[in-house]
Structure 1
């Protein structure tokens, strides 16, 4: 069966978006992996499935390139707002909102959580920072912004072999739902960031990673809101104050649309 898809990206973090609101589609882990495969499928970091919602304009489901389903994706949220005009979006990580503003899209994510069981961790530990280390990375800050993140602050981004060490941190038994890994260096109210995403690996940009990192920097007074977060694919502006949701502003690019033959 031929199904239309849209290929979009947020700062190089790329997505295949399938709209199943009118014509339902059963998504499996194997099918998500096939579509995301860059040699035998369409190719993407995440597959996005749009469904009907009773709580919002639509429901967004997110599948990583390995087929695993996750709760939230900031870059994908901006792309879905740009594509559909949705003002409210239901996700497994909470109810999100957004609007296009000229060339940019601003979305509001959920209020961040810092408790050990909200990350979640396998057992109680302080999260600000976490008294743990992996090779030359230690004492990260743990934040859940709809999905779980660790943030390591370092002097030099290139000192961390994130591609090599990321898989071991992601799958550490301390994190029963796995974890996204961020390494950041802070300048004058700006942050340089690299992210190893659970289920996707090293990506050119991560929206929720930018949010988690900005929140950790603001909480520790390394930066003040709003803060610009610079990644390999481009920059996002993140605004947050304690007790409030986090706001993210940046680009969302439509690349092409096409059809794929699905079972």
Structure 2
């Protein structure tokens, strides 16, 4: 039997497994089975907390489709709550510093990557105003915050067919590693409404890296400056970034319950 915690950040929910004392062989099929909301435990992402030679702990992230991804901002905020202290976390996206705050955590998400080959894109182009689009969407911005994002700034989010456009863009050959698709609307001074189609997970109530990427894109487009509130369906995150600096993300993290499972059955 193995222990796990069910946690969430703004409704983006996780099964968090402590693999520091006993390793767990995580395969794509096993991650999918655990994430299944009918036959498994159910989650948007599965999080494995392990040992690290470079940090306090390591974190591996698996989407509900079984694919392993580099970064997850909402999950990162849950780690200090899960471990019980401020932590430096080793991820595929680099080292992330997460500190507990009242009701959640503040995370240094590092510096964004803005070069076309760092997103990555299939060929060279301007990432601030990409000379491509889909249907009647405006020219987007591309940002990598440990994982790839494309951001569309729209006049009105209502009426957008996210379920149709999300997978169309996620799987476009322009994005060789697929992409997270962000639909944003400027709602006020340093305030952004955001809906995210998450790579490998679909529509989720919140996406922390999507909020970071969108705030970076808004600053680059001169649509925002300084700390920016990003309102997702699950709630608000505060993102602070100035060009050349690190992205700071602050928001809630919630422990729901603990449980035990026989991982050999998945």
TM-score w.r.t. length of structure 2:
0.97
Q: Is the 8 A contact 1:111 1:145 kept in 2?
A: yes
State yes or no: 1:11 paired with 2:34.
Answer: no
State the partner residue of 2:241.
Answer: 240
1:128-147 pair list within 5 angstroms: 128-147=128-147
CA drift of 1:220 comes to: 1.3
Q: How does 1:92-241 map to 2 (within 5 A)?
A: 92-186=92-186, 187-241=188-242
Question: Could you tell me which residue of structure 2 aligns to residue 252 of structure 1?
Answer: 253
Residues 140-149 or 159-168, more deviating: 159-168
- For residues 13 and 136 of structure 1, the distance between their equivalents in structure 2, rounded to whole angstroms, comes to 29
Measured after TM superposition, the shift of residue 104 of structure 1 is 2.9
Q: Distance in 1 between matches of 2:78 and 2:163?
A: 26
Q: Show CA shifts across 1:70-106 (max 9, x none).
A: 0000000001121112420000011100111222310
CA distance in 2, matches of 1:32, 1:249: 28
| SS at 2:71 equivalent | coil
Q: Pick closer, same or farther for the CA change 1:26–1:86 going to 2, 3 Å.
A: farther
In the aligned structure 2, how far is the partner of 1:22 from the partner of 1:233? 33
- 8 Å contact kept, 1:58–1:86: no
SS of equivalent to 2:189: coil
5+ unaligned residues in a row in structure 1: which ranges?
none
Secondary structure at the aligned position of 2:185 is classed as strand
d(CA) in 2 for partners of 1:80, 1:10? 11
Runs of 4+ in 1 over 4 A off after TM superposition: none
> CA–CA distance in 2 between the matches of 1:218 and 1:21?
39
Contact 2:4 2:18 in 1 (8 A): yes
Distance 1:204 1:102 in 2: 21
Question: What do you get for the CA RMSD once the two structures are aligned?
Answer: 0.8
TM-superposed deviation, 1:159: 3.2
- Secondary structure of 1:134's partner? coil
Q: Judge which range, 76-85 or 64-73, deviates more.
A: 76-85
Within 2, Cα distance between the matches of 1:81 and 1:155?
37
Partner Cα distance (1:139, 1:14) in 2: 31
SS at match of 2:200: coil
Q: SS at the partner of 2:118?
A: coil
